[in-house]
Structure 1
Amino acid sequence: MGRGKMVIQRIDNTTNRQVTFSKRRSGLLKKARELSILCDAQLGLIIFSTTGKLYEFATTNMESVIERYHHNTSDNNQPPPPAEDLKFWQREATKLRQQLEVLEERHRKVMGEELTDLSIRDLQSLENQLEASLKGVRMHKDLVLGDEIKNLKRKGSLIRQQNLDSHHKLDLVKQENSDLIFKLKGGYKVHQVYQQPQTSIRVQSEHYITPIHLQLSQTQPQPLNIDASPTTTTMNLGLILH
């Protein structure tokens, strides 16, 4: 006798249903394995029993199979959203459009436009908002200016110190030049240290001395006048300073 055709429907008997699940599951896993080997196909099979137990089969790795599945079912390949989702996004777009119109209207009023339809209370509220905004802007401006002033003061101090260092170097160069000039002229430097009277303060000073060359005159001396008084007798000596 031939095997009878089985009706595809839920098996009410729990034991028969469990046996059928076990047999069909093994056959399905076997067919999946054969398909992957024969056709060199990459596939993944996931089965959950009625008790929540997991059975799976993958040719390489289940995570890579799932990642490849998500990559191939991107937004371009997805079917269009259902009508409920479309209505939801339409409502969201309407709300955003209304909020944009309100913000544009507020911006025009803040800029001083379209104020004819405002009441006194609305104008006072707008004035308070502008004053608060102006106060915040001024506070931020003061902070920025304070930082800039600090930076400029710091830069000024650095430049002042550089100028002092440059003047000190210039004084040293001038002193060295003076020493060289006096050395070339044959002079020498004299250091003197003296104590101020009635104090214990000692002062050190220095000055340059240039040698003076003396030469006797070649003219003959004048004869002495015997008649002259002893108190008026003079000697003529000529000195030539160079």
Structure 2
Amino acid sequence: MVRGKTQMKRIENPTSRQVTFSKRRSGLLKKAFELSVLCDAEVGLMVFSPRGKLYEFSSTSMAKTIERYKSHSKDSANHHNRVTEQNIQQLKFETAALQKKIQFLEASKKKLLAENLDSCSIEELHQTEAKLEQSLQKIRGKKNRLLEDQMAKLTEKQAALLRENGALRQKVEEQCKMQQTREQTVPVTEGTPSNEEEQKIEVETELHIGWPPVRSPKTNKAVKKHSE
């Protein structure tokens, strides 16, 4: 489990604060001495206590170390100022170049829009005309490519519709054939007279007195029966 970083703050108890200062000061001076000896480094250390007392350590001379620090800081500042000045000059140069380029583009734009042509020479007008022709060729080429793409999509859609129409037509024809075959193979049900039998049946409409007539099984006609 990783412990959170404890926030360092001022020791409120004066006695504890003085004890901690003495221990940390001694340890810091010891580390500075070890660094100067082990690494042959020029070290200068100054510590002021809360009461204003100075504690210092210098591997050579504190005044010499301070003078060296000032010289180094001055050189660093001068170098930084030189770099800053060079950057400012470079930015000014780039800004001026961009402004010129923007002005040139604005003038070219106005020429292409047929504005401020009074100050143009014949050569400038020819150049503007050539640029317009190039632009028109690119525009026409782009338009033709878009039209070709649309035509290809429409042709593909038409082919798909034709295939779908052919499939539907074939399906309808198959259904019609199946219907015709079903109608031809339907059997005649019993008790339903055929066309020939319907033609042979005659309807008796005459009124008879006496016994009902007997029909001949051959001719299906009524035969009069005389009473004895």
TM-score by length of 1: 0.45
Higher strand share: 1
TM-score (norm 2): 0.47
- By relative contact order (CA 8 Å, sep 6+), the higher-ranking structure is 1
More helix by share: 2
